[in-house]
Amino acid sequence: MKKHTISLYPLGKEIRVNDQTPLIDVLHEFGIEFLCGGKGTCGKCKVRLLDGEIFTNPAHIHKLDKLGFTKDWRLACMSNCTDDITLEIEQFNHIILADETEFEFTPGEGYGIAVDLGTTAVVVQLIDLRSAQVLAIETMLNPQIRFGADLISRIQACLDGNDGEMNRTIRSSIGTMIELMLKKHLVDLQQVVLVGNTVMQLIFSNCDVSPLSMYPFHTDNLGLKTFTPEELGWNFTVSKPIKFHASIGSFVGSDILAGIAATGIHQKEKYTALIDLGTNGEIVIGNREQTVCASTAAGPAFEGSNISMGMRAVTGAISSFSLDNESIIAHVIGNTSAKGICGSALIDAIAILRKLDFIGLFGEINSGADHLNLTGKINLTQKDIYEFQLAKAALAAGMTILCKKLSISPSDIQEVFIAGGFGNYINLEHVSDIGKIEVPEEKIRKMGNTALIGAKMFLFTGGTITEEILSKTTHVNLEGDPNFQDIYVDKMLL
Ligand code: FES
Give the tens place of pLDDT for each residue, 367-399. 999 999 888 888 999 999 998 898 888 889 999
**Does residue 44 line the site of ligand 1, with CB under 6 A?**
yes
Ligand 1 center–CA 46 separation, angstroms? 7
**Does residue 22 line the site of ligand 1, with CB under 6 A?**
no
Identify which of 91, 56, 49 has the alpha carbon closest to the alpha carbon of residue 72: 49
For residue 220, give every residue at least 6 positions away whose Cβ sits within 8 Å of its Cβ, in sequence order, or none.
none
31: left (phi over 0), alpha (psi -120 to 50) or beta: left
Ligand 1 center–CA 426 separation, angstroms? 18
pLDDT at 37 over 90: no
**Does residue 448 line the site of ligand 1, with CB under 6 A?**
no
Which of 23, 39, 66 for a ligand 1 pocket mutation test, highest count of atoms within 8 Å of Cβ?
39
**Does residue 38 line the site of ligand 1, with CB under 6 A?**
yes
For residue 214, give every residue at least 6 positions away whose Cβ sits within 8 Å of its Cβ, in sequence order, or none.
none
pLDDT of residue 227: 97
| pTM of the entire predicted model | 0.76
Identify which of 33, 198, 190 has the alpha carbon closest to the alpha carbon of residue 127: 190
Ligand 1 center–CA 229 separation, angstroms? 43
For residue 102, give every residue at least 6 positions away whose Cβ sits within 8 Å of its Cβ, in sequence order, or none.
none
**Does residue 52 line the site of ligand 1, with CB under 6 A?**
no
Q: What is the DSSP letter of 310?
A: B
- The per-residue pLDDT of the chain, averaged, comes to 87
Ligand 1 center–CA 494 separation, angstroms? 35
Which of 42, 56, 66, 424 for a ligand 1 pocket mutation test, highest count of atoms within 8 Å of Cβ?
42
Band (pLDDT 50/70/90 cuts) for residue 283 is: very high
Ligand 1 atom with the smallest distance to the CA of 75 is 4
Q: What is the mean pLDDT of residues 99-119?
A: 81
Band (pLDDT 50/70/90 cuts) for residue 412 is: very high
Highest-confidence range of 21-30, 44-53, 237-246, by mean pLDDT? 237-246
Band (pLDDT 50/70/90 cuts) for residue 281 is: confident
**Does residue 459 line the site of ligand 1, with CB under 6 A?**
no
Q: What is the DSSP letter of 359?
A: B
Ligand 1 center–CA 348 separation, angstroms? 23
**Does residue 35 line the site of ligand 1, with CB under 6 A?**
yes
**Does residue 34 line the site of ligand 1, with CB under 6 A?**
yes
